[in-house]
Amino acid sequence: MTSAPIHNRYEKYRKMLTEIADLEKIIALMQWDQEVNMPSAANAFRARQISRMAAQHHEMAVSEDYYDVLASLLDDDTLNNHQQMNVQRSMEDYQQEKRLPSEFVVRLSEAVAKSHQGWVDAQKENNFRLLEPHLEQIVALKREQAQLLGYKDHPYDALLNNYEKGLTVVELDEVFTGLKHQLGKLLDEIRGARATAPPSLKMVFPRQKQLDLCRVIASEFGFDFSRGRLDLSAHPFSLDLNPRDVRITTRIQEEDLMESLSSVIHEVGHGLYGQGLSLKEYGLPGGEAASLSIHESQSRLWENQVGRSEAFVNGYYQLISNYFPEVLKDISAFDFFRAINQVRPSFIRTSADEITYHFHILIRYELEKELISGAMEVSYLPQGWKEKYQKYLGLEVPDDNRGVLQDLHWAHGDIGYFPTYSLGSLYGAQFYAAAEKAIPDLDEHIRHKHYKPLLKWLKKNIFAHGRLFTSKELCEQVTGEPLNYKYFDEYARKKYRIVYGIK
Amino acid sequence: MTSAPIHNRYEKYRKMLTEIADLEKIIALMQWDQEVNMPSAANAFRARQISRMAAQHHEMAVSEDYYDVLASLLDDDTLNNHQQMNVQRSMEDYQQEKRLPSEFVVRLSEAVAKSHQGWVDAQKENNFRLLEPHLEQIVALKREQAQLLGYKDHPYDALLNNYEKGLTVVELDEVFTGLKHQLGKLLDEIRGARATAPPSLKMVFPRQKQLDLCRVIASEFGFDFSRGRLDLSAHPFSLDLNPRDVRITTRIQEEDLMESLSSVIHEVGHGLYGQGLSLKEYGLPGGEAASLSIHESQSRLWENQVGRSEAFVNGYYQLISNYFPEVLKDISAFDFFRAINQVRPSFIRTSADEITYHFHILIRYELEKELISGAMEVSYLPQGWKEKYQKYLGLEVPDDNRGVLQDLHWAHGDIGYFPTYSLGSLYGAQFYAAAEKAIPDLDEHIRHKHYKPLLKWLKKNIFAHGRLFTSKELCEQVTGEPLNYKYFDEYARKKYRIVYGIK
């Protein structure tokens, strides 16, 4: 007869988390709208509204009522294992959030709003100095945040922890050192083999046709348009409001089909994850994405392991040619496959190929670590940026817009975020290798546009766990071993052997 | 030396109202998104989120803190006249809102969310019975609301007051009795003169071209796209988030150019008002629209007095023909003018002509008054609807979708709202008559696409006052007399003399 009140407590917990999630999603909607729809003249109104909702969200997430419910459930052994894990994750979240005073949350949110505008102005003038004072404030706040959150070895660990629970500089350094070495070698080999370049795909692909094609492919991959949308925005992104409202965006350039196609497939990867999360567990850890890197592993896996494979191209080339018959009439499917897998150092992260991409991340990781440790001043950033692009990619960065101003992350206070992109790519390769073992003839399925077996496997092995496990735990569980960059290396070598004829 | 704290109190009042307005606008954004973007599968999530924000909005609007600030300012004679009027209006709002307990606000909001879904389902099945139980609940709640709000003569007065401060059944009955008589006569004369019908405009106008043309006209009328947007939605509407973010929508039917054109011009009328409100007074009565009927007067004035005038057609016919040269090649500007001014009884309010439109409203007004007084049961509505369409428009309503299910208002709890459409049309005609007196050669200006003098006059005489005055007060102030339907009658007679050749 004691189960009723316990059941009620768990229901109370669920109700509180639903409320917290609702506030979070209202904020997310306001941000999505700002990016996709809102006239930028109204930025100040929106910034104030978001700031206020963020403060309210924080207050709920650290309220005593909420703590009492959590604490009472924590040592309640009548909960089943899944419920216990939900409560444990929530308690960790509470403790993390509790370390930040409300006034700090408001200060950070206001600084970010101003800094966003500073970034817009700086981009317009192609001049980092317009962002500099704002970014100085952001970095100071993030250093303050690291102190508030606490850390053992490096203040950057505290920030990393916001995005990847338990990840440290020591671990990341190890990953990047290995990756840098392996990919450096591969890059050299590709450079040496540049003789047989495929035809360029820089032609004119009408915008509406690109969008139509993207919608067809998104739908065939399994993205459910009755529970989601695809819009245009300056920077492609995805948003999970709930499993019945998942929004992805892309951008379209008339002379570059792959820009839209790969963006859409990338965001569809995010979207499939969002639509595949548990509806019943909305707002609870069990119904949320595991982490940024696991979210990114899904987008990378669909974009690269699937969307840049020979099997995909073979499956879709006829359809793609039907959309653009004149443009593609002299290009074979194999040449198309080679063309979309070209490796070439470039200035802009978001249009980088799969290999050099990791160097873009490495550079940002090294720089932001130094900003947070205090080893580098914000004013030195453009110079530091140039030196590293010279060192790692052999490029002379010509200006701020093609350099330090290209990403919005730092201006938005997202420091410690970039590494999750590389981790996502590595996790994606490792998950895909596991899927290949588990699903007989996966390559054949892809060749026949048959994505259900892969999606089903991802749902069962990844989506179903929400964020009950950390990225590390999930990786071990799904693939039988910790994160290992050799899977990405093997995948890349196998592909570039074909594309560039290297051994 | 006592002015500082007073000044601070007024600033505190302004800050509180800004917060209240922000919550209201967040709700409005969620509703806009639901209408324009959101997959309908996510309705339950959005309904819950809106409901919660509505409760929060109500709590702020009736909080003791807020009351204390208002009360302290109310008898503060160091405020200037404008400030005093702001405070007075706010105190009236407070008292109105205070009459509704929070639990009632939540109950109503939840009932509306369910009823919305009931309406969607009923429309799908073309069957009023699916909406009936929900509507019964809504009507019961609105009757309860009338009791909570209080009234002197008729419970419907209490609901009217939500939309038009101070308006009563007695006044409305008088307006509609006169209007019904005058327009009935005009309708008979038009029927008698039907010999010389203009060519039909039912042709194929490509959708994208319609949208492009609408954007050009909206912009030339003065709608500022850097502070607003135009989107597509099932039902055209407009939304003021703030003077820098005003959103209008339209719908496009390929075989009906006037559907989109008149919708856009109508919504542009709303939009110009929204963009013309005081930025500095955001959230304060001085920065808000005067009332629903005054908002509607703006949309009607631009849609009808301007957009259906011979002067407008003469000014734009060349451009319109350029967009659709093949379609319009055999139609003269004068025939186009006559074609867009045809009067013909029809089932659907939103596509009614200017004359029969008022009968659509009269019918709804009579029905909802009886629902609220208790003289009619909800179950009788479809029958009551049919009888009145037979009586006033001589039409046999064939089914619920072309009858009682066509509007969302009642399902949304908006009872007492419909009359504001007719009032808007009458105010629009009366304002335009005043503008014609004040602006020499207004007709010539319109003919030369020169809208600035009219917009400037509206800004000065209407927009600038926010809602410091009631609709009645504003009307007297702008036109020198109370609302008088003779202006609409004169405008209509003058036009239909030309269109139908009646005297």
pLDDT > 50? residue A1: no
pLDDT > 50? residue B2: no
Cβ–Cβ under 8 Å, residues A216 and A319: yes
Alpha-carbon gap: A403 to the closest alpha carbon of chain B (Å): 29
Entry pTM: 0.90
Verify whether residue B267 is a known catalytic residue: yes
- Give per-residue pLDDT as tens, B337-349: 999 999 999 999 9
Contacts of B290 (CB under 8 A, 6+ apart): B462, B465, B466, B467, B469, B470, B471, B474
Tokens read off for A413: 């206070």
Does residue B382 sit at the A interface (CB-CB below 8 Å)? no
3-class SS of residue A204: coil
pLDDT > 60? residue B4: no
Does residue B24 sit at the A interface (CB-CB below 8 Å)? no
Pick the catalytic residue from A267, A281, A288, A368.
A267
- Taking residue A144's Cβ as centre, other Cβ atoms within 10 Å add up to 15
pLDDT at B426: 98
Query: Could you give the CA distance from residue B341 to residue B354 in angstroms, rounded to a whole number?
Result: 8
Alpha-carbon dihedral angle through residues B221, B223, B229, B230, given to the nearest 10 degrees = -20
Chain B positions touching A30 (Cβ under 8 A) are: 26, 29
Q: Side chain identity at B304, as an amino acid letter?
A: N
Alpha-carbon gap: B66 to the closest alpha carbon of chain A (Å): 18
Name the closest residue on chain A to residue B24, using Cα atoms: A49
pLDDT > 60? residue A3: no
What's the alpha-carbon Rg for chain A, to the nearest Å? 23
Helix (H) or strand (E) holding A110: helix A102-125
Query: With 0-12 CB in 10 A as exposed, 13-18 as middle and 19+ as buried, what is A76?
Result: middle
- Give per-residue pLDDT as tens, B190-248: 988 865 777 888 889 999 999 999 999 999 999 999 999 999 888 899 999 999 999 99
pLDDT at A127: 98
pLDDT > 50? residue B1: no
Q: Which of A194-203, A424-433, B318-327 has the highest mean pLDDT?
A: A424-433
Alpha-carbon gap: B2 to the closest alpha carbon of chain A (Å): 31
Query: Could you give the CA distance from residue B171 to residue B77 in angstroms, rounded to a whole number?
Result: 35
Average pLDDT rounded to a whole number, residues B322-347: 93
- Give per-residue pLDDT as tens, A462-492: 999 999 999 999 999 999 999 999 999 999 9
- Give per-residue pLDDT as tens, A256-289: 998 899 999 999 999 999 999 999 999 999 999 9
3-class SS of residue A323: helix
Query: Could you give the CA distance from residue A325 to residue A318 in angstroms, rounded to a whole number?
Result: 9
Q: A363 or A232: which carries more pLDDT confidence?
A: A363
Nearest to A271 by CA among A230, A217, A216: A230
pLDDT at B5: 60
- Give per-residue pLDDT as tens, A5-23: 656 899 999 999 999 999 9
Percentage of residues in chain B with pLDDT exceeding 70? 98
Say how many CB pairs under 8 Å bridge A and B: 80
Query: Could you give the CA distance from residue A268 to residue A219 in angstroms, rounded to a whole number?
Result: 9
- Cβ–Cβ below 8 Å for A22 and B52: yes
Reported ipTM: the value is 0.89
Chain B positions touching A229 (Cβ under 8 A) are: 37, 39
Task: Give the model's confidence band at A2: pLDDT under 50 very low, under 70 low, under 90 confident, else very high.
Answer: very low
pLDDT at A7: 66
- Cβ–Cβ below 8 Å for B45 and A25: yes
Nearest to A85 by CA among A285, A288, A289: A285
Mean pLDDT of chain A: 94
- Cβ–Cβ below 8 Å for B26 and A229: no
Nearest to A338 by CA among A361, A356, A317: A317
Query: Could you give the CA distance from residue A262 to residue A498 in angstroms, rounded to a whole number?
Result: 20
- Give per-residue pLDDT as tens, B123-146: 999 999 999 999 999 999 999 999
pLDDT > 60? residue A4: no
- Give per-residue pLDDT as tens, A134-168: 999 999 999 999 999 999 999 999 999 999 999 99
